[in-house]
Amino acid sequence: MPDQPLLSVRALNAWYGESHALHGVDLEIREGETVTLLGRNGVGKTTTLRAIMGLIRKRSGAITFAGRNLMRLPLHRVARAGIGFVPEERGIFATLTVDENLLLPPVVAPGGMSVREIYQLFPNLEERRNSPGTRLSGGEQQMLAIARILRTGVRALLLDEPTEGLAPVIVERIGDLLGALKRRGMTILLVEQNFRFASRVADRFYLMEHGKVVSHFPVAALDERMHDLHHVLGV
């Protein structure tokens, strides 16, 4: 992996109105890494993703991607810089078919997957390619939300709670999928509360409390950092 991070966040502060949500968040991800933000609900994990994408405009600090400053860019130009965002609510178009959902987002860079490649990676979706979003299960909707980003040619994925509310067998399938994307060289920033799932796919962890990163360590140090993990997650 190169020495320089693909995505770098430094001293990131963010506000919702007068409410100060992020307090000097620092993190970095190298190309091809999967990094997980862990923490309880409401500590700033989703806000961090939204601030990186430019969905929160009242913010300060530095965000760079592939050496490019993202702080002054609007959302559509952040996406064109090569970052894809899959929110917790998934955001698929319920009345459109799987095929139509896949073809809707614009291609932002060369190197994106073809629809054929996507269906090889997501055989469940190929079986449902003519079904509208309303007829998909929660797991299929999550797969579709991820799949449609892969066609656009992004270099990094921001995933917000991709296993939330899914049955264990589907969580296992999402884990397999992220492993396949990792082998393809995709860079992933994952927000997750299920640390057992996260430990299967992540290279490194960042722990968050009260809008701050309080600790970070590689997956190899997970056993010796379980006390920190239990404290932050309340488990």
Q: Work out how many domains the chain is built from and give that number.
A: 1
Is 133 inside a domain boundary? yes
For the record, the structure tokens of 126 come out as 């190929």
Higher pLDDT, 234 or 89: 89
Asked, for residue 86, whether it belongs to a domain, the answer is yes
Query: Is residue 57 one of the residues assigned to a domain?
Result: yes
Query: Is residue 2 domain-resident?
Result: no
Tell whether 107 is covered by a domain.
yes
Question: What CATH number does residue 61 fall under?
Answer: 3.40.50.300
| Whether the Cβ atoms of residue 34 and residue 44 lie closer than 8 Å to each other | no
Residue whose C-alpha is closest to residue 46's, from 17, 14, 68:
14
Whether the predicted pLDDT of 2 surpasses 80: no
Q: What is the pTM of this model?
A: 0.92
For residue 218, being part of any structural domain is answered with yes
Residue 1, domain member (yes or no)? no
How does pLDDT run across 154-209, given as a tens digit for each residue?
Answer: 999 999 999 998 889 989 999 999 999 999 999 999 999 888 898 889 999 999 99
**How does residue 8 score in pLDDT terms, banded at 50, 70 and 90?**
very high
Position 150 pLDDT exceeds 50 = yes
Residue 55 located in a structural domain:
yes
The pLDDT assigned to 193 comes to 84
- Residue numbers of the domain that contains 88: 7-233
Tens-place pLDDT, residues 111-131: 889 999 999 999 999 999 999
pLDDT in the model for residue 235: 60
When the pLDDT of each residue in the chain is averaged and rounded to a whole number, the result is 92
